[in-house]
């Protein structure tokens, strides 16, 4: 007999660009099963085209970007008990931003504009509210992500159209970022570096390449020292006949697994990371619903939450970290054209 379920501290947040809202789902843990079941908890309507989201480091605020003009970011309070969201304020952005993150100290919102070839910095005040843009920097073609490094001293940007990564030094006051990158890293021609993820060891950086269906690992240097090649692996099976259109990557908290999605192939792949060498091995590839643009990984590493931009459903996928295998468990409606998913565990 299955044990009674108990309320979990895990919440899943899905932004829906087509319906202009965010869906909040609460997880229930069954003590005899390794995956999570979800219950709808809230839908908050914001309007526009809500796409990239980022949590503050303390999980008390969620920042949601509206990619419909006039471009803006919403600051939402996160109820620590229910996980519900409430709108605190809305601030302008410096353009149509495809990616958002916060600095490690939570004082700055970092955004990247794919269409306008720029990155921007907005200050975040003591109450977690975002202010107007304070710094705007031009970049090489089509920046698609901007991520603070684990050292708290640098910010990395992937420029998909230029096949480049750049690294800016981060300060403590505005203007926050160095006007010129301290590191330039050339990626393989026509690879299309899209999103970035740092390994928990703080020394490795992984990049998913949109155009060639692969992941590259880099070993970070010290200070202004450039990174060096660490690993490379395709995320699609060798016999996959489809031209890649890869999207998202996530790394497990124990650093042993990397997950990657491809929209055109409609697959989610699990790659094992050798924690000694950083080498990647493709272990499993699971068919998903069409256009899996975004997904999230539960902190315990046992569940993946994959949004289909085409069907508007969120798939809950169980993951067995011992065997490296994935299995579909359930599906949930999550609005029109869902494009961003985050899964967090709120403090008890």
User: pLDDT for 230-244, tens place per residue?
Assistant: 999 999 988 878 999
Helix (H), strand (E) at residue 169:
strand 164-169
* Rounded Cα gap, residues 134 and 123, in angstroms: 7
Confidence of residue 223 (pLDDT cuts 50, 70, 90): confident
Residue 290 has pLDDT above 50, yes or no: yes
Q: pLDDT at position 33, please?
A: 43
pTM: 0.95
Q: pLDDT at position 2, please?
A: 35
Residue 5 has pLDDT above 80, yes or no: no
The 10 Å CB-count burial string (b at 16+, else e) for 284-309 is bbbebbebbbbbbbbebbbbbbbbbb
Specify the 3-state DSSP secondary structure of 162.
helix
pLDDT tens by residue, 244-258: 999 999 999 999 999
Q: pLDDT at position 240, please?
A: 78
295: region left, alpha or beta (phi > 0 left; psi from -120 to 50 alpha): beta
The 10 Å CB-count burial string (b at 16+, else e) for 132-141 is ebbbbbebbe
Helix (H), strand (E) at residue 318:
strand 313-320
Confidence of residue 9 (pLDDT cuts 50, 70, 90): confident
Smallest Cα–Cα separation from 63: which of 51, 48, 79, 47? 51
Instruction: Judge whether 269 and 244 are in contact, CB under 8 Å.
Output: no
Smallest Cα–Cα separation from 213: which of 180, 167, 238, 246? 246
Smallest Cα–Cα separation from 252: which of 306, 199, 193, 204? 199
Which residue do the tokens 């315990």 mark?
A: 300
pLDDT tens by residue, 335-346: 999 999 999 998
Residue 58 has pLDDT above 70, yes or no: yes
Cis peptide before 175 (omega within 30 of 0): yes
The DSSP secondary structure of 28-80, one letter per residue, reads: EE-TT-SSEEEEEEEEEE--S-EEEEEE-TTSSEEEEEE-SSSPEEEEEEE-T
Smallest Cα–Cα separation from 68: which of 103, 134, 1, 19? 19
Q: Which residues pair with 131 in a beta bridge?
A: none
Residue 284 has pLDDT above 60, yes or no: yes
Report the chain's mean pLDDT, rounded to a whole number: 94
């Amino acid at each position: 007999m299955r044990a009674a379920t108990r309320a979990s501290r895990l919440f899943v947040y899905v932004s829906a660009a087509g319906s202009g809202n965010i869906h909040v789902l609460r997880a229930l843990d069954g003590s005899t099963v390794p995956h999570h079941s979800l219950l709808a908890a809230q839908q908050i309507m914001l309007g526009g085209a809500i796409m990239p989201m980022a949590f503050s480091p303390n999980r008390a605020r969620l920042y949601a970007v509206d990619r419909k003009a006039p471009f803006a970011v919403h600051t939402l309070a996160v109820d620590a008990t229910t996980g519900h969201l409430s709108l605190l304020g809305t601030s302008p952005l410096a353009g149509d931003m495809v990616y958002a993150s916060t600095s490690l100290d939570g004082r700055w919102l970092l955004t990247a504009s794919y269409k306008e070839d720029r990155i921007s910095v907005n200050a975040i005040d003591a109450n977690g509210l975002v202010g107007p843009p304070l710094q705007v920097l031009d970049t090489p073609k089509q920046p698609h992500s901007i991520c603070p490094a684990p050292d708290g001293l640098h910010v990395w940007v992937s420029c998909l159209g230029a096949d480049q990564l750049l690294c800016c030094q981060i300060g403590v006051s505005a203007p926050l970022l160095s006007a010129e990158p301290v590191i330039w890293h050339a990626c393989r021609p026509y690879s299309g570096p899209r999103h970035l993820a740092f390994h928990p060891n703080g020394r490795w950086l992984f990049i998913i390449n949109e155009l060639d269906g692969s992941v590259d690992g880099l070993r970070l240097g010290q200070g202004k020292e450039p990174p060096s090649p660490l690993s490379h692996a395709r995320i699609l099976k060798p016999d996959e006949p489809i031209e890649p259109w890869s999207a998202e990557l996530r790394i497990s908290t124990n650093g042993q697994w990397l997950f990657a999605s491809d929209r055109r192939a409609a697959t989610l792949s699990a790659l094992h990371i050798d924690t000694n060498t950083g080498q990647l091995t493709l272990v499993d590839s699971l068919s998903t619903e069409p256009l899996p643009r975004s997904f999230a990984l539960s902190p315990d590493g046992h569940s993946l939450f994959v949004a289909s931009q085409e069907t508007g459903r969120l798939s809950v996928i169980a993951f067995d970290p011992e065997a490296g295998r994935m299995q579909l468990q359930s599906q949930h409606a999550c609005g029109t054209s869902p494009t961003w998913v985050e899964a967090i565990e709120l403090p008890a």
